[in-house]
């Protein structure tokens, strides 16, 4: 006769069905279509940091492609696709003062109200649907 510890260990390591048979497998999860559409919508806007630098400092804004930069979240999870802003590559990922380097301090460093920008982008996106 097995001990209670051995029975618990055997129960814990029960053979699980293949992932294809599990009802909510990660491979077959439903993708949030609104989030993907919002990401494409935001990419059509100029870089938020360059825009505010041009407005506040009179510096010429870079003309180029904006990337969707997720904003918020934590170290364990990326922010949802409905929370992001348009940033050029330099302000998004490259450089010492990029959003990837500064994380949640990005808006304070550049003097940008990130929450207001995200709110306006979301309002424009859902108004146009």
Residue-wise pLDDT tens digits, 7-51: 666 666 555 555 545 554 444 445 578 888 888 999 988 888 888
> Between 97 and 16, where is the model more confident?
97
- 53-61 mean pLDDT: 71
5: left (phi > 0), else alpha (psi -120 to 50), else beta?
alpha
Model pLDDT, residue 29: 45
Q: Answer yes or no: are the C-beta atoms of 78 and 70 closer than 8 Å.
A: yes
> Between 120 and 9, where is the model more confident?
120
Name the residue ranges covered by the structural domains of the chain: 35-127
Model pLDDT, residue 74: 67
Token pair of 87 as six digits: 């940033």
Whether 127 shows a pLDDT value over 50: the answer reads: yes
Q: Domain spanning 35-127: which CATH class is it, in words?
A: alpha beta
Residue-wise pLDDT tens digits, 75-95: 667 778 888 899 988 888 888
Residue-wise pLDDT tens digits, 101-110: 888 888 888 8
Model pLDDT, residue 60: 67
Provide the 3-class DSSP secondary structure of residue 87. strand
> Between 3 and 12, where is the model more confident?
3
Angle at Cα 49 formed by Cα 43 and Cα 54, nearest 5°? Answer: 115
Provide the 3-class DSSP secondary structure of residue 114. helix
Angle at Cα 13 formed by Cα 9 and Cα 15, nearest 5°? Answer: 150
Q: Answer yes or no: are the C-beta atoms of 69 and 87 closer than 8 Å.
A: yes
Burial of 6 (0-12, 13-18, 19+ CB in 10 A): exposed
């Amino acid at each position: 006769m097995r001990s209670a510890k051995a029975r618990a260990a055997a129960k814990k390591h029960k053979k699980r069905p293949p992932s294809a048979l599990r009802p909510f497998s990660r491979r077959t999860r439903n993708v949030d279509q609104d989030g993907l559409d919002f990401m494409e919508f935001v990419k059509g806007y100029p870089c938020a940091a360059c825009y505010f630098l041009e407005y506040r400092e009179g510096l010429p804004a870079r003309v180029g492609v904006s990337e969707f930069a997720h904003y918020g979240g934590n170290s364990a999870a990326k922010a949802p696709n409905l929370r992001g802003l348009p940033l050029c590559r330099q302000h998004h990922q490259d450089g010492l003062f990029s959003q990837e380097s500064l994380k949640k301090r990005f808006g304070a460093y550049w003097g940008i109200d990130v929450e207001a920008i995200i709110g306006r982008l979301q309002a424009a996106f859902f108004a146009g649907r």
